[in-house]
Amino acid sequence: MAVPLAAMWVVAPASRRQRDDVTHPFGRTEVIDNSLNPDFVRKFVLDYFFEEKQNLRFDLYDVDAKSPDLSKHDFLGQCFCTLGEIVGSAGSRLEKSLIIGQTAPNSRSGRSTQSMSNGGIPSKKCGVIIISAEELSNCRDIATVQFSAHKLDKKDFFGKSDPFMVFYRSNEDGTYTICHKTEYVKNTLSPVWQKFSIPVRGLCNGDYDSHDFIGEFSTSYRELSKGQSQFNIYEASQTKLHAVAFAHASRRSRMSVASQHSSKRTEGPEVINPRKKMKKKKYVNSGTVTLLSFTVESEYTFLDYIKGGTQINFTVAIDFTASNGNPSQSTSLHYMNPYQLNAYALALKAVGEIIQDYDSDKCFPALGFGAKLPPDGRVSHEFPLNGSAENPQCNGIEGILEAYHKSLKSVQLYGPTNFAPVVNRVARFAAAVPDGSHYFVLLIITDGVISDMSQTKEAIVNFVPFRDYVDRTGNHVLSMARLAKDVLAEIPDQLISYMKTRGIKPSSAPPPYTPPGLQAQI
């Protein structure tokens, strides 16, 4: 029986000083005694970035001694993947075959070396590893609140007050931090403020400009969550209303508030102006504040949708206009250097290799625009790179690159640079899937001379100039990583915004399963 242990390594890309990728040890699981199907308990906590390619390596060992040196143990196999690949798998659960004979870690240097410690055959499959990703559960609740006030103190000499409410969250040390301020309601002593939403966990910045203090009171998240009731009518003393950031159910908070008329006044937490109370013996309060409504909803994250099965459908459109230059000349952006990728291929590869992890079939439509097509020289602004109008999808990023290179040999660069046809094409496909199960991303790679910008500028959510990412030192790996990061960084927020405006909630993640063979869940 084996005594397995798993080790995780983070693979950093080559840098200017280091030509090869550098592998850093990240963590090890516990040792499982006498098991061919270990289920590891220890978890590894990583920061996840959708817009970055985060390479990982997992190595399995059969522990033979108490030595911490991994080279002293029998190497069982390894697998390579990205964090995005794990997250983008069904239920954020990736199953991959373990391979022997590729590379094994040198525990001292962190570099990869050939390993045949157990007499294995190069690239021999030796079981399966199952890697699960789970988002750390932070409080994601969003509270939507509305207050009103009644008979607040008059603060203006010639008119009524212009009251507003300021909310403070209580800190662990007994101090308070501002987290929200309502709008002003002009010339009234019985204002009704608009509803506002605030993260239960979060803080908001406010300003501390001098205002006339109307009153304050204290309450808690638990009390507010009871909604409109006799418990949520607050008496106010002359003060500026200090309101609550709802960060913890049992934590008290201060509120400076002015609220609307309440037809029935019942006892509740007082909103008192300490100064006025000290000066006037008959002082009661500076008005009352009423909680009109209080609702709490969970805020869904990007990973909630991905884990629930939302697929990111990636489409690429490449500029084949004459402004790119003759592809046979080295000055052209389409020039095919036998020793390195051109600018279009570099950009496509940098972005595509990240986003492909979130599409289960890895088949992507690839289009071209601005070229004359054979045999009749017809100008097209929406032609498939693979030549198939019925099925323009290419198999993976390498399939797109292959189709792109073939198209360069068969079409004639022409013009003008019109985006509208490819934008409308993808928009039609997106409109046909309104349930949130698919989210469509169109990557347009162009030389920047756009003819129909006025028709398409509203549809373009992000524009990144490629020239800003050309590394003159020749390190394309780092420069393309920065390009991909800036191109893709906004997609998670855009997806969440799209789902939220349409009221689409993430589907439930698929139930866990137990495949046959060697298993290791990390």
- Residue 416 is which amino acid? P
Phi, psi of 186 (to 5 degrees): -70, 135
Do residues 10 and 123 share a domain? yes
- State how far the Cα of 252 lies from the Cα of 167, in Å rounded to an integer: 12
pTM reported for the whole predicted model: 0.70
Q: What tokens appear for 485 in the block? A: 């990061």
Burial class of 336 by CB neighbour count within 10 A (0 to 12, 13 to 18, 19+): middle
Return the pLDDT at 20.
64
The closest of 234, 231, 242 to 287, measured between CA atoms, is 234
Asked if the structure places residue 520 within a domain, the reply is no
Q: Does residue 508 contact residue 494 with C-beta atoms inside 8 Å?
A: no
- State how far the Cα of 277 lies from the Cα of 316, in Å rounded to an integer: 69
Return the pLDDT at 79.
94
- State how far the Cα of 506 lies from the Cα of 306, in Å rounded to an integer: 8
Do residues 219 and 148 share a domain? yes
Asked if the structure places residue 507 within a domain, the reply is no
**Regions in the chain scoring below 50 on pLDDT:** 104-122, 203-210, 230-232, 234-270, 515-522
Do residues 325 and 440 share a domain? yes
The closest of 91, 51, 180 to 507, measured between CA atoms, is 91
Domain count, the chain: 3
The closest of 351, 343, 361, 345 to 438, measured between CA atoms, is 361
State which residues form the domain around 109. Answer: 4-132
Do residues 286 and 356 share a domain? no
Do residues 283 and 393 share a domain? no
- State how far the Cα of 120 lies from the Cα of 116, in Å rounded to an integer: 6
CATH number for the domain harbouring residue 113 = 2.60.40
Asked if the structure places residue 515 within a domain, the reply is no
- State how far the Cα of 404 lies from the Cα of 384, in Å rounded to an integer: 9
Asked if the structure places residue 241 within a domain, the reply is yes
The closest of 350, 219, 237, 239 to 291, measured between CA atoms, is 219
Do residues 356 and 468 share a domain? yes
Return the pLDDT at 204.
39
